[in-house]
Amino acid sequence: MAKLSLRNISKRFGDTQVIHDFSADVDNGEFLVLLGASGSGKSTLLRIIAGLTDPTKGDIIFDNLRVNRQSPRERDIAFVFQSYALYPHLTVRENITFPLALDKFKAWHHIPGISAIARRIFGSSKEVAERVDSVSSMLELDEYSKRKPGGLSGGQRQRVALARALIRNPSMFLLDEPLSNLDAKLRAELRGEIVRLHKLTGKTFVYVTHDQVEAMTMATQIVILHNGIVQQHATPQEIYARPANTYVARFIGSPPMNLMSATVADGQPALGRLRLPAPEGLRLGTGPVTLGLRPEHLTVSADVDGPGLPGTVRRIEDLGADTLIGIQPDRTLDLKLWELNQDDLIWIRQTGQTRLMTGDPCTVALNAGMASYFDSDTGANLASAAEVSDAGMLSSHG
């Protein structure tokens, strides 16, 4: 029902530029996640879409209609707040009914007490009661319907907030870090719930989070923001496999992508003395590049003389199904790790347990076919940069 287009959105608070020239198109039914660290401008962007904050510049377009001057209600959106923002004086059921009851609001309901009576009569009508019942049973809130928000747990409160958003059947759902006040187990549970609601309603969802797990598991599209600037707008798979720049490479993935300084001579990259095969479909010139490899694209063996990077095991983190192994590369390699690599180690993810012990010498083998190459100055992914210049496009759209 609603296609969302943002055109050159900028926002300043005094001297601080919070969002720089943001443009994006979101098709109907997409689940867009705005992902970024705190202060990246993601919440401000969501509030601008909702109409709770005005942009300094730019247009917000819903289905070819510019809605900049419309109130949140006129935009037909629902907003779920991080802090739930329930009406504390109303019961769960009254909270859910509230948006519907407002449709029938008359001026004389302003007289104290009248509106409460009017709402009660309205809420007991068959049609409304059925609608509220179906939404509250969908979110398993039936047994709490008479309680007030004060008597609910955090997870239950956020369910009520979701129910309040659902009841009006809006054309778009905006969610501002709805799960970050919940504990890990509840978070996983509600994550599934929200994905289910997205499938069920088929509406556009815009979801703000700083949690990459939420982004990767829920999104159909992710926008990564950093200091108000879009880093990448693509599908989760694309972002994971081909990060647009070193920031994205480090932001997504746990542990993040290993970044190493490599040199290229005649199109052939080398890590220290270790020569790597030239990447397919990408012509590297000559000079320094940054090479990125995900932890799962590296393997480690105790065979010291095998092909690969010699090093020493420094850390072993057993996660049960997986093991993370931190390797310190041999100093004689003259290998420069990217300054932000965790503890100056190369991290490897291996399924199952390892026989290696801390302090063991070892060899790291690289799956060079999976490597990403970044410009050593700008940090931009050389592959996507090449693609852009080939296709003559300006965005890194997935």
Partner 1 sequence: MATQEAHPVTEHAPHKRRLKAPGKRNFSKPVRVLMLAALVLFSGFPLYWMLNTALSQDSELYGQAQGWWPHWERLADLGDVIGTVPIFKWLTNSMVIAGGTTLLSLIFAVLAGYALSRFKFYGKGAAGFLLFATQMLPEALLVVPIYALFASLGLLNGMGGLILANVAFTMPVSVWIIKGAIDAIPYEIEEAAAVDGCPRVTILSLVLTPLILPSIAAAAVINFFDGWNEFLLAKTFIAERDLWPASVGLASFIGQYLTSLNSVMAAALLFTLPALIFFLLVQRRIVSGLTAGSVKG
Interface residue list for partner 1 (CB under 8 A): 50, 52, 71-73, 77-79, 81-89, 98-99, 102-103, 105, 109-110, 112, 115, 148-152, 154, 157, 164, 168, 181
**Number of CB atoms found within 10 A of residue 237's CB:** 11
Q: Where are the beta strands (DSSP E) in 143-197?
A: 172-176
Side-chain half-sphere exposure of 59, counting CA atoms within 13 A: 9
Paired sense of beta strands 204-209 and 268-271, if any: unpaired
Can you tell me the distance from the alpha carbon of 69 to that of 62, in angstroms, rounded to the nearest whole number?
12
Q: How far is the CB of 62 from partner 1 (least distance, A)?
A: 15
Residue placing its CB nearer to partner 1 in the complex, 11 or 164: 164
Residue placing its CB nearer to partner 1 in the complex, 114 or 304: 114
Residue placing its CB nearer to partner 1 in the complex, 174 or 313: 174
Q: In this structure, are residues 311 and 328 in contact, taking their beta carbons and an 8 Å threshold?
A: yes
Q: How far is the CB of 195 from partner 1 (least distance, A)?
A: 22
Q: How far is the CB of 133 from partner 1 (least distance, A)?
A: 19
Residue placing its CB nearer to partner 1 in the complex, 85 or 388: 85
Q: How far is the CB of 87 from partner 1 (least distance, A)?
A: 6
The whole-angstrom distance between residue 250's C-alpha and the CA centroid of its chain comes to 14
- What are the φ/ψ torsions at residue 141 (nearest 5 degrees)? -110, 5
Residue placing its CB nearer to partner 1 in the complex, 70 or 299: 70
Residue with tokens 């009520």: 160
Residue placing its CB nearer to partner 1 in the complex, 87 or 237: 87
Can you tell me the distance from the alpha carbon of 1 to that of 204, in angstroms, rounded to the nearest whole number?
8
DSSP for 359-385 reads T-EEEEEE-GGG-EEEETTT-BBHHHH
Q: In this structure, are residues 206 and 173 in contact, taking their beta carbons and an 8 Å threshold?
A: yes
DSSP for residue 79: E
Q: In this structure, are residues 81 and 158 in contact, taking their beta carbons and an 8 Å threshold?
A: no
Q: How far is the CB of 106 from partner 1 (least distance, A)?
A: 11
Q: How far is the CB of 221 from partner 1 (least distance, A)?
A: 23
Residue placing its CB nearer to partner 1 in the complex, 150 or 392: 150
Which residue(s) pair with 12 in the sheet? 17
Q: How far is the CB of 76 from partner 1 (least distance, A)?
A: 10
Q: What angle do CA 378, 379, 382 make, to 5 degrees?
A: 100
Residue placing its CB nearer to partner 1 in the complex, 175 or 291: 175
Q: How far is the CB of 181 from partner 1 (least distance, A)?
A: 5
Q: How far is the CB of 393 from partner 1 (least distance, A)?
A: 36
Q: What angle do CA 363, 356, 291 make, to 5 degrees?
A: 35
Residue placing its CB nearer to partner 1 in the complex, 16 or 237: 16
DSSP for residue 169: -
Can you tell me the distance from the alpha carbon of 311 to that of 5, in angstroms, rounded to the nearest whole number?
50
Residue placing its CB nearer to partner 1 in the complex, 98 or 263: 98
Can you tell me the distance from the alpha carbon of 131 to that of 353, in angstroms, rounded to the nearest whole number?
52
Q: In this structure, are residues 144 and 156 in contact, taking their beta carbons and an 8 Å threshold?
A: yes
Q: How far is the CB of 186 from partner 1 (least distance, A)?
A: 13
